[in-house]
Chains A and B, each alone.
Chain A
Amino acid sequence: MSSGHTPIRRKLMTMILLTSGAVLLLTSASFVAHEFLTFRYSTVRNLSTLGQVIATNSTAALAFDNAKDAAEILTALKAEPHVVSAGLYNSAGQLFATYPQGLKSGGFPPMPGADGYRFEDHFLVGFQPVLMGQRRLGTLFLKSDLGALFDWLRLFGGIAAAVIAASFLLAYLISRSLQRQISEPILALAQTAEAVSRGRDYSVRAAPAQGHELRLLTDGFNHMLERTQAQLSRLDLLQKITRAIGERQDPASIFQVVLQRLEDDMPIEFGCICLHEAQDDYLIARTIGARSIPAAAAMGIADHTHIPIDDNGISKCLRGHLVYEPDVREVPFPLPQRLAAGGFRSLVIAPLLIESNVFGMLIASRREADAFTSGDCEFLRQVSEHVALATQQAQLYGALQRAYDDLRQSQQTALQQERLRALGQMASGIAHDINNAISPVALYTESLLEREPNLSERTRSYLVTIQRAIEDVAETVARMREFYRPREPQIVLGRIHINRAVQQIIELTRARWSDVAQQRGIMIDLRTELADDLPDLMGAESEVRDALTNLIFNAVDAMPNGGILTLRTALAGPQRVCLEVSDTGLGMDEETRRRCLEPFYTTKGERGTGLGLAMVYGMIQRHSAELEIASEPGKGTTMRLIFTLSVPDTSTSGLVPVLVPTQSPLRILLVDDDPILLQSLRDTLEGDGHLITAASGGQAGIDAFTAAVAGGTPFDVVVTDLGMPYVDGRKVAAKVRAVSPTVPIVMLTGWGQRLVADEEVPPHVDRVLNKPPRLAELREILAELTA
């Protein structure tokens, strides 16, 4: 025992010793006082008895005046050593005899005092009358010292002191052992308390003590420790739950982790979170604790099970109260009865509250009846508050995330559109140049095919291919604007014989898949699996061809080491035709597959524009068709285009037979800044028998026109380019119109349909013709305008 433990022991012992000491002292004091008084009284009585005896014996001596005899009688006092002196006075008051005999009469009172005995100074003195019958013969004087009294006092005091000392010792020994009964349990308790507070270990328990109050104290202490420990572990659990919740952002995962924690650490034997919509009269089981799933299944509760709201527990919980049923067997409502059937007894339903609205409930159950303490209930209530808050935050977070995603999407879209717009502007410039460049090719090809009947079959075939290619180029250029103007106002639908289109594309792209590949030393085996008797599609043939071309190029690019390229057509159900392009190449991973349709997304680095599949997709959308992509890295890719057949078109199909109309010769002014185009146009129109004046540039055109008018030979028709340096087609048109209000003006434009879409037909212009101009179209317009 350390010195720190002594105070209570010392106090207890001091208390016991002080108490017993006080009692002893008081007892001894009263005893001594009693004995003292008694002794004093007996001393007086002894002396008075002695006095009476001597007085009686002295009567004769006094009566017959015999002093000698009297002295003799007094001598008997020798037997009493405390009698210091004695004397007899005769009736006259004269000293008659003395004791001891040698004593001077000065030691005696001169006259006898009053009868009786009294203490004077340190002596007991007495005057005893000497009587003979009724007669007083004299007085006996006795003087006794108090030696006996003091002797007695000394003795008695010694005994008392010894007794007190012995009692004290005994009391000390007894108190030492007795105080242990009280102090040791208290000290043990104190040690436990110290151990608890120093080690923060609340699992320590005080040993049970003897004695009712001490046991109450220890039990109370242990109970307090138990409660503290439980509180701490709950706090710890609550903290774990809070932390786990904090790491999660979606309600389902929050519910899951909370239930798991409760099942593992609280623990509960059944845990489930149900949600409630304001207008519903049932709960929906949303998340069931992982360990509770078997029990839940046995009770017929699974995800999204509807639990009816009963009158008692759940509806009370709906009003925001925590509900505790110590024994569900006694509660005649559906949920408690279901739990009772599942072997559960005690049930807690805690509301999940957001702003006084109960949006769900936490249901916890144990197999034992009456198994939740008020502390447990309070804890579950706190947990449910946390869950509710976290759920609300998760919902807010989700909404925020969606808003953010939307915003980002919008931003991306805006950015994309900006890029597309820039590209579109650039593209229209390029388109203009390309259209100018291919116009002579188109014109000459068409002209050759028309006017040279002696061409060999092969030449004619090549020329047709060239013509088709030029048409495709023109349409491709025209469609470049699609990227910044996605809604194509008008596509020209025609009948497409799909198998024939496939064959044409194979031919058109042969250079790519066969020749280029062979130059690189690889072999691409192109196979076709074309179904017979397929119905014609309605669509823009050039778009379909472009799409197919793109797919073939992609397939070739996907097979850098060669492989098999398969083109397949088939009926894909009633009124559905499927066109497949398959390769055995690299394939696409998930990311690429997902993004491959995005504009500008490319895996080909510098070589790719990222527009190919985007164009395909655009075509698919415009044709209300479907695109399926099956791809696996290393296994190749299959792109499947599925067209739905629309109502058959009754218009004539295929290539319109070329008619060379007989047209009376016209005086035509051609205005263009491109000399080759000008030349080719002049050649072809002159071939038709027209009289052509070519003006190189806008100003030259105006000059030529005014000169012709002034010269009396005005032009029948003016054909002018739109985009020219310095003086463009609009100005030319304006000038021509100013000079001659009736002459028809045809405008050629390399910007293609953009012009039509943007500004409709410019003022003063009668017709707009896209570059490259098709001879047939031009003829038609000329015929129409001059009719």
Chain B
Amino acid sequence: MKAVFLFNFAQFVEWPPQSFEDAAAPFVIGVLGTDPFGSALEGAVRGETLNGRSFVVERYRSVTEIRHCQVLFISRSEAARVEEIRAALAGRSILTVSDIEDPAQRGVMIRFVAENNRIRLRINADAAKAVGLSISSKLLRPAELVTSAG
């Protein structure tokens, strides 16, 4: 389910053009740390395109491996290095998504929250805005909004 959500985010967020290597560069969904999805993510993006771009799933063990990436899922395995990751990605137009439980939600733009056996979204729109991402109001409707300060 979360893998589908990752794919769905691509539909509701706009990236600035410089976040891509070139016009034909694929849309990259990256997973940092231990991959919880297995092949589900590949299954979700297979055959899909967006604005003429194909989808590519990349997996990173370290933040330094990240070159071009549009959506980055930060696995729970990286919970200790969240601060470090945030600092490393500062200024880069990468939509960060995580399911790490952090009430302050530091450095992560969208957090998956489990609630009554359903997955809810908690979005820090300011953080996304700060790196040039515009989140569709449609995405904002079913989500819960937080601020960096909160």
**Which A residues lie at the B interface, using CB under 8 A?**
57, 59-61, 63-66, 68-69, 132-135
> Is residue B67 contacting chain A, with contact meaning CB distance below 8 A?
no
Query: Which A residue's beta carbon lies closest to that of B8?
Result: A63
Q: Is the CB of B8 within 8 A of A61?
A: no
Say which residue of B48, B118, B139 sits within 8 Å of A60 (CB atoms): B139
* Given A60-B136, A65-B119, CB of A132 within 8 Å of CB of B11: yes
Segment 26-77 of B: residues with Cβ below 8 Å from A = 48-50
| Best-surrounded residue of B5, B136, B142, B143 (most CB of chain A within 10 A) | B142
CB contacts (< 8 Å) of A60 on chain B: these are 12, 136, 138-139, 141-142
> Contacts of B82 on A, CB cut-off 8 Å?
none
Q: Which residues of B93-126 are within 8 A (CB) of A?
A: 118-121
Q: How far is the CB of B29 from chain A (nearest CB, A)?
A: 15
A134 to B52, CA, bound (A): 12
**Residues of chain B lying within 8 A (CB to CB) of residue A132:** 8, 11
User: A73 — nearest CB in chain B belongs to which residue?
Assistant: B141
Specify which of B5, B48, B49 is in contact with A64 (CB 8 Å cutoff).
B5
Q: Are A133 and B138 in contact (CB under 8 A)?
A: no
Q: Which residues of B contact A135 (CB under 8 A)?
A: 11, 48
From A57, A59, A68, A133, contact of B50 by CB (8 A):
A133
A64 contacts which chain B residues (CB < 8 A)?
A: 5, 8, 119, 121, 139, 142-143
Docked pose: A65 CA to B12 CA in angstroms:
14
Q: List 24 A-B contacts (CB under 8 A).
A: A57-B138, A59-B138, A60-B136, A60-B138, A60-B141, A60-B142, A61-B141, A63-B5, A63-B8, A63-B12, A64-B5, A64-B8, A64-B119, A64-B139, A65-B1, A65-B118, A66-B120, A66-B142, A69-B142, A132-B8, A133-B11, A133-B50, A134-B49, A135-B11
* Alpha-carbon distance A66/B142, docked complex (angstroms): 6
- The answer for the CA separation of A65 and B5 in the assembled complex, in Å, is 9
Shortest Cβ distance from B4 into chain A, in angstroms?
A: 8
Q: CA A60 – CA B143 in complex, angstroms? A: 10
Q: How many angstroms from the CA of A134 to the CA of B55 in the assembled complex?
A: 14
Q: How many A-B residue pairs have CB under 8 A?
A: 39
Cα distance A368–B12 in the bound complex, in angstroms: 115
Tell me which residues across on chain A come within 8 A of B49, comparing CB atoms. 134
Q: Specify the chain B residue showing the minimal Cβ separation from A56.
A: B138
B residues within 8 Å of A by Cβ? 1, 5, 8, 11-12, 48-50, 118-121, 136, 138-139, 141-143
CB B124 to nearest CB in A, in angstroms, measures 16
Which 4 A-B pairs give the minimum distances between C-beta atoms? A66-B142, A60-B138, A69-B142, A63-B8
Name the residue of chain A whose CB is nearest to the CB of B48: A135
Measured in the bound complex, the distance between the Cα atoms of B11 and A547 in whole Å is 181
Taken together as a complex, chains A and B put the C-alpha atoms of A64 and B122 apart, in Å, by: 12
Known contacts A59-B11, A60-B139, A69-B142; 7 additional CB pairs below 8 A are A59-B138, A60-B142, A61-B141, A65-B118, A132-B8, A133-B11, A134-B49
* B143 / chain A contacts, CB cutoff of 8 Å: 64
Q: Kindly provide the distance from the CB of B1 to the nearest chain A CB, expressed in whole angstroms.
A: 8
| CB <8 Å contact, A63 and B121 | no
What is the minimal beta-carbon distance from B12 to any residue of chain A, in angstroms? 6
Taking the closest CB of chain B, its distance from the CB of A639, in whole angstroms, is: 170
Smallest CB–CB gap between A66 and chain B, Å?
4
Residues of A within 8 A of B121 (CB): 64
Question: Which A residues are CB-close (under 8 A) to B142?
Answer: 60-61, 64, 66, 68-69
Q: Which residues of A contact B50 (CB under 8 A)?
A: 133
Residues of the A chain whose Cβ atoms lie less than 8 Å from the Cβ of B139:
60, 64
How near does chain B come to A72, taking the closest CB pair, in angstroms?
A: 8
Kindly state the separation between the CA atoms of A357 and B142 in the bound complex, as whole angstroms: 133
Query: Known contacts A60-B136, A64-B121, A133-B50: does B11 contact A69 (CB below 8 Å)?
Result: no
Please name all residues of chain B whose beta carbon is closer than 8 Å to the beta carbon of A57 when the two chains form the complex. Answer: 138, 141
Contacts of B11 in A (CB 8 A): 59, 63, 132-133, 135
Distance from A444 Cβ to chain B, minimum over Cβ atoms (Å) = 202
Query: How near does chain A come to B58, taking the closest CB pair, in angstroms?
Result: 22
**A313 CB to nearest B CB, Å:** 119
CA distance A132 to B13 in the complex (A): 13
Q: How far is the CA of A735 from the CA of B58 in the complex (A)?
A: 217
Q: Which residues of B contact A66 (CB under 8 A)?
A: 120, 142
In the bound complex, CA of A66 to CA of B50 (Å): 23
A residues near B120, Cβ cutoff 8 Å: 66
CB of A293 to closest CB in B, whole Å: 130
Closest residue of chain B to A72 (Cβ to Cβ) is B141
Which residues on the B side are within 8 Å of A69 (C-beta)?
A: 141-142
CA–CA, A387 and B118, complex, Å: 136
User: Shortest beta-carbon distance, B49 to chain A, in Å?
Assistant: 8
The docked-state distance in angstroms from the alpha carbon of A60 to that of B135 is 12
Minimum CB distance partner of A68 in chain B: B142
Q: What's the minimum C-beta distance from B122 to chain A, rounded to whole angstroms?
A: 12
Distance A63 CA – B143 CA, assembled complex (angstroms): 12
Closest residue on chain B to residue A133 by CB atoms? B11
Specify the chain A residue showing the minimal Cβ separation from B142.
Answer: A66
Cα–Cα, bound, A61→B5 (Å): 12
Q: CA–CA, A65 to B143, complex, Å? A: 11
Closest to A132 in B: B11
A127 to B43, CA, bound (A): 29
Q: Give Cα A231 to B11, complex, Å.
A: 109
Q: A190 CB to closest chain B CB, in angstroms?
A: 86
Complex contacts, B5 vs chain A, CB 8 Å: 63-64
The interface residues of chain B lying within 8 Å CB-to-CB of A68 are 142
Give min CB distance, B98 to chain A, whole Å.
16
Q: Which residues of B contact A134 (CB under 8 A)?
A: 48-49
Q: Taking the nearest CB of chain B, how far is it from the CB of A52, in angstroms?
A: 14
Residue of A nearest to B140 (CB): A60
Residue on A with the closest CB to B118?
Answer: A65
Q: Within the assembled complex, what's the spacing in Å between the Cα atoms of A60 and B141?
A: 8
State A133–B136 Cα separation when bound (angstroms): 14
Q: Contacts of B141 on A, CB cut-off 8 Å? A: 57, 60-61, 69
Bound-state CA distance A66–B143 (Å) is 9
Give the CA-CA distance A133 to B119 in the complex, in Å.
23
How far apart are A105's CB and chain B's nearest CB, in angstroms?
A: 19
The smallest C-beta distance from A63 to any residue of chain B, in angstroms, reads 4
Closest to B49 in A: A134
Q: From residue A64, how far is it (CB to closest CB) to chain B in Å?
A: 5
Looking at the assembled complex, report how far the CB atom of A699 sits from the nearest CB atom of chain B, in whole angstroms: 199
Bound together, the chains give a CA A69 to CA B49 distance in angstroms of: 27
A residues less than 8 Å from B8 (CB atoms): 63-64, 132
Give Cα A66–Cα B118 distance, bound, in whole angstroms: 9
Q: Please measure, in the bound complex, the distance between the C-alpha atom of A57 and the C-alpha atom of B50, giving whole angstroms.
A: 20
Residue of A with least CB distance to B5: A64
